Amino acid sequence: MTATPWGEAERLAARKLPPGPGGDREAIARQQRERLFGAMVAVVADKGYEATRVEDVLVLAGVSRNGFYKLFSSKRDCFVQMLEEVERHARPVMLAPVPDGDDRWDLRLRALLDRLAALLVSQPALARAAWVEVYAAGPEAVAVVERIDRTVERAVSAALDESPERAGMPRAIVRALVGAVRKLVHDRVRSDRVDELPELMGDVFDWLNSYLTPPRALRRPRRVPAELLPAQRPPADARERILVAVTEIVAAKGYPEMAITEIAGRAAVSLTTFYHHFDGKEEAFVEAFWRGHRIVFDTVAPVVATAADWESSIALGARALTGCQTAMPEIATLSGIGVWATSPAGMDVRYQAIDTFKAFLDEGFRLHPDTPVTARDGIAAAVDALMYETLRHRGAERMYEVAPTFAYIVLAPFVGAERACELANAGVDELRGRGSAG
């Protein structure tokens, strides 16, 4: 049986109220909505949002096509309204007072994480629909889960403000840490490891506690130094023109809306040429992702190699990476936002790229062995969340501004708030050991 917030999916149709002139129309419509919401969760969890058809939902819910379109304008409308219903019911549960009246800030934070884990373990189909498939449903659906995140952010900020060492934590850091929890959950849900979440949340709590409020304001640099900018070069051949076209289209309209005919037209190649190089748009996307990853890595790695030490290399790498993203907004958007609405193969390459970043943290654990082990996954998820948030709401042209916040999030669990803040605010020359604050 597939559990949903509206009952077991296989029994939804059996709950159908009897039709007829004596029936309560409002009650019938309300129950139809609930059955459709439950069916939507179950089908999307099983097939994925893109592959889900309205007909699949109707069969499971026991609702006619006419009945569906009296309630919803489309599949997306039903999915979004389902998420809104989840939001209404989940908010008071997630933010309920701590049992036994002990309202310490740390117990409230831990209770919030535990409730999230309990909800997802009890509703794995909902977890997949709302944490994984939501990105394929478009911006309106993503906006609903972002509202849930904002509610959690306010609760986390309020709790941290009661801790003397964490009061006044910058909202950008709180948002990145909350986003990290979402992304850590996403990883477990997409790989069918929901049962790991209760134990994970205990480790996440320990990692979150390693962050103290920066002792000074983190800077927001505007101008990317020329030495951090990537070399620009035209596409070498038809294959690379195709990859550039994929990158531009995904950045402009998203992966689900991208058509192969549009790719071929933008790249000025025939469909025969496209299929000579790629089996379909999924393979082209994966290759476009790796092309962007190589360009960024080839720009960042030589810069990082000039750092005075490991700690400085992290702060310098944050400058180089965000500078590169500012200079190449289409690549940044594809890898930071567009990838979330792709296929499982697309998400696989995203996680492989994140593993590349995690490798840079290994030296930190060697130098600072008391750092919580969960920091490896948590830091990567928090940086990913920071970039996603910046790209989605401020644009790639503002990425360089978050370089100090990026550096602080990475370094604080290893070196503490004071040193992390110093490194995060340091200039490029300082980080290279040249003594200049420029």
**What DSSP designation does 43 have?**
H
Q: Per CATH, which fold does 9-72 belong to?
A: Arc Repressor Mutant, subunit A (1.10.10)
Whether residue 288 contacts residue 309, with contact meaning beta carbons closer than 8 Å, is answered with no
What's the rounded Cα separation, in Å, for the pair 40 and 126?
9
pLDDT score, position 60: 97
What's the rounded Cα separation, in Å, for the pair 438 and 423?
13
Domain edges within the chain: 9-72, 88-208, 226-431
| 226-431 shares the fold of 9-72 | no
pLDDT score, position 76: 97
pLDDT score, position 96: 80
Q: By C-alpha distance, which of 163, 155, 162 is closest to 181?
A: 155
| pLDDT one-digit tens code per residue, 256-310 | 999 999 999 999 999 999 999 999 999 999 999 999 999 999 999 999 999 999 9
| pLDDT one-digit tens code per residue, 207-252 | 999 999 999 999 999 999 998 988 888 888 999 999 999 999 999 9
Q: Hey, how many other C-beta atoms are within 10 angstroms of the C-beta on 302?
A: 10
C-alpha 10 chain-centroid distance = 31
| pLDDT one-digit tens code per residue, 129-175 | 999 999 999 999 999 999 999 999 999 999 999 999 999 999 999 99
What's the rounded Cα separation, in Å, for the pair 412 and 30?
50
In the chain, the percentage of residues whose pLDDT exceeds 70 is: 96
For residue 136, the surrounding DSSP H or E stretch is none
What's the rounded Cα separation, in Å, for the pair 405 and 348?
27
In this predicted structure, the answer to whether residue 77 has a pLDDT above a threshold of 60 is: yes
Match domain 226-431 to its CATH number in 2.40.50.140, 1.10.357.10, 3.30.70.1520, 1.20.120.1200.
Answer: 1.10.357.10
State the chain's mean pLDDT as an integer: 93
